[in-house]
């Protein structure tokens, strides 16, 4: 990637995704500065710049592919410079359009066409950063410990966040152990543990954060088997969080058996930053409540949201065991107050319902089937584990709705699930 100006200034990086022969050029002018981040994406033949104009102090983030070249049209730069007296402001555009005098026009030379420019910048809900249309690639509350080695994620898949715990000691209720220090774990991830580093290390006891990769890069905290899904990259973003925690850890005299027993300081800020990148406040595989794995490649590839490490394909870990509830951004107080949650549990996908799977979603479904007089269970034990009794009872529910034959096979479908109205867990 080449920049045609030696006067660009920035605290962050210029990060180019899928940058095969990408060339980004700007005029050599001392008044082209970076004050707001611009997001330039090129996906499936669509090129757009989400910020109408910018003077740089942070970062231009170029998401580009297939040898695209960007360059401002000279007449546009001259027009903007002469009319405003402040130098060119840069704006996207495939065709020559009449732009306000304070903005210049851009031309794209590439092998494909550009989609029409949005007149209103794209906003991301819950954004805490400087601009409504570009989240912060570096969390402002975090220590920036950039490891370099950035690499793109897959914009064709929905955005995700992955919840981990560091689990660096084996303690018990009878023999709790002191929490490993935040500084020690940060040092581990910046040195010998580079190959395992997440995006964010979070100390739920103090609210401290360290960030090792920008949000737009993959991190390395997941196992990624050859030939399968690229787990660390399987989303528009795949933001990975390591909570500094292990069961029965002791910090300042407080012993915590579960992550949710900690003060969870900083969680509201972390939740809001993740949300600003388009990751929805939902657990497609259910919010973790124990150290039991539940994996569905179909759900993983099709649904955005939060996943426990125990939910990720090609991985054998069972953490985090628990995770704090989502919080909602309030005006003037980011992250203040409980989140608005759907009243009923969203359909988790037919592949979720597999023999032996344990989930609070299944327990909630069990209770609803009993309430709907579709109780075909032989026992009231292990109601959170999917088994033959669930198949029989759900078949009764499907038949109650008027289904028959293969449409009443005991495996939930979205229509019947939505009508069952399983409470959100």
Assign 81 to helix, strand or coil.
helix
How many other C-beta atoms can be found within 10 angstroms of the C-beta atom of residue 210? 25
Confidence band for 352, pLDDT divided at 50, 70 and 90: confident
For tokens 């058996």, the residue is: 257
Q: CA-to-CA distance for 113 and 234, rounded, in angstroms?
A: 26
Query: How does strand 200-203 pair with strand 177-178?
Result: unpaired
Mean pLDDT across the chain, nearest whole number? 73
Return the closest-CA partner of residue 259 out of 312, 325, 307.
Answer: 325
Q: Which residue segments constitute the domains of the chain, with CATH numbers given?
A: 15-109 (no CATH), 143-311 (3.40.80), 350-420 (1.10.101)
The residue that leads in pLDDT, 251 or 78, is 251
**pLDDT computed for residue 341 by the predictor:** 56
Taking CA atoms, 327 is separated from 36, 131, 273, 285, in Å, by 27, 21, 11, 19
Written as six digits, the tokens of 95 are 């065709």
Assign 209 to helix, strand or coil.
strand
DSSP E strands in 349-421: the ranges are: none
The residue that leads in pLDDT, 184 or 379, is 184
Return the closest-CA partner of residue 167 out of 353, 375, 309.
Answer: 309
Question: In this model, does residue 289 exceed pLDDT 50?
Answer: yes
Task: Yes or no: say if 138 and 214 are a contact pair by the CB < 8 Å rule.
Answer: yes
Question: In this model, does residue 161 exceed pLDDT 60?
Answer: yes
Written as six digits, the tokens of 298 are 């179909």
Question: In this model, does residue 379 exceed pLDDT 50?
Answer: yes
Which DSSP category does 48 fall into? E
**pLDDT computed for residue 342 by the predictor:** 67
Using one digit for the tens of pLDDT, what is the confidence trace for 127-143? Answer: 333 334 468 999 999 99
Written as six digits, the tokens of 122 are 């794209």
**pLDDT computed for residue 345 by the predictor:** 87
Q: CA-to-CA distance for 331 and 337, rounded, in angstroms?
A: 11
For tokens 């991301």, the residue is: 124
Name the least confident of 151-160, 172-181, 333-342, 406-415. Answer: 333-342
**pLDDT computed for residue 256 by the predictor:** 93
Question: In this model, does residue 304 exceed pLDDT 70?
Answer: yes
Q: CA-to-CA distance for 163 and 244, rounded, in angstroms?
A: 11
Question: In this model, does residue 167 exceed pLDDT 90?
Answer: yes
Q: CA-to-CA distance for 357 and 384, rounded, in angstroms?
A: 8
Quote the distance between the C-alpha of residue 83 and its chain's center.
42
Phi and psi angles of residue 83, each rounded to the nearest 5 degrees, phi first: -85, -30
Q: How many CA atoms lie within 13 A of 377 on its CB side?
A: 21
**pLDDT computed for residue 115 by the predictor:** 30
Confidence band for 242, pLDDT divided at 50, 70 and 90: very high
What integer is the mean pLDDT of 401-412?
A: 92
What integer is the mean pLDDT of 249-277?
A: 94
What integer is the mean pLDDT of 398-412?
A: 92
The residue that leads in pLDDT, 254 or 29, is 254
The residue that leads in pLDDT, 408 or 71, is 408
């Amino acid at each position: 990637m080449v920049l045609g100006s030696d006067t660009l200034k920035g605290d962050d990086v210029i990060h180019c995704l899928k940058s095969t022969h990408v060339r980004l050029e700007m005029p050599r002018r001392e008044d082209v500065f970076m004050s707001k981040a611009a997001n330039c994406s090129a996906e499936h033949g669509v090129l757009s710049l989400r910020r109408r104009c910018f003077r740089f102090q942070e970062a231009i983030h170029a998401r580009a592919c297939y040898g695209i070249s960007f360059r401002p049209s000279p007449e546009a730069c001259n027009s903007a410079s002469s009319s405003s007296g402040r130098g060119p402001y840069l704006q996207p555009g495939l065709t020559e359009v009449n732009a306000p005098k304070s903005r210049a026009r851009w031309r794209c030379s590439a092998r494909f066409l550009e989609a029409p420019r949005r007149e209103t910048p794209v906003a991301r809900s819950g954004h805490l950063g400087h601009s409504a249309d570009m989240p912060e690639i570096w969390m402002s509350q975090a220590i920036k410990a950039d490891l370099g080695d950035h690499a793109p994620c897959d914009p064709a898949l929905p955005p995700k966040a992955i919840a981990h715990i560091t689990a660096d000691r084996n303690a018990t209720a009878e023999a709790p152990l002191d929490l490993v220090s935040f500084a020690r774990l940060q040092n581990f991830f910046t040195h010998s543990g580079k190959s395992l580093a997440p995006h964010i290390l979070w100390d739920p006891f103090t609210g401290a954060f360290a960030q090792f990769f920008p949000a737009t890069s993959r991190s390395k905290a997941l196992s990624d088997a050859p030939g399968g899904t690229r787990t660390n990259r399987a989303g528009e973003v795949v933001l990975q969080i390591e909570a500094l925690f292990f069961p029965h850890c002791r910090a300042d005299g407080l012993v915590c058996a579960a992550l949710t027993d900690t003060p969870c300081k900083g969680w509201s800020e972390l939740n809001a930053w993740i949300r600003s990148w388009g990751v929805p406040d939902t657990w497609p595989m259910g919010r973790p409540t124990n150290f039991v794995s539940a994996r569905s490649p179909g759900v993983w590839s099709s649904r955005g949201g939060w996943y426990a490490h125990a939910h990720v394909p090609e991985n054998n870990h069972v953490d985090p065991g628990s995770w704090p509830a989502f919080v909602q951004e309030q005006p003037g107080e980011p992250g203040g107050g409980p989140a608005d949650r759907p009243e009923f549990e969203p359909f988790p996908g037919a592949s979720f319902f597999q023999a032996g799977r344990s989930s609070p979603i299944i327990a909630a479904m069990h209770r609803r089937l009993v309430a709907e007089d579709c109780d075909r269970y032989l026992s009231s034990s292990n109601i959170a584990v999917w088994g033959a009794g669930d198949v029989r009872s759900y078949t009764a529910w499907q038949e109650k709705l008027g289904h028959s034959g293969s449409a009443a096979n005991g495996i939930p479908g979205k229509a019947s699930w939505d009508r069952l109205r399983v409470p959100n867990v």
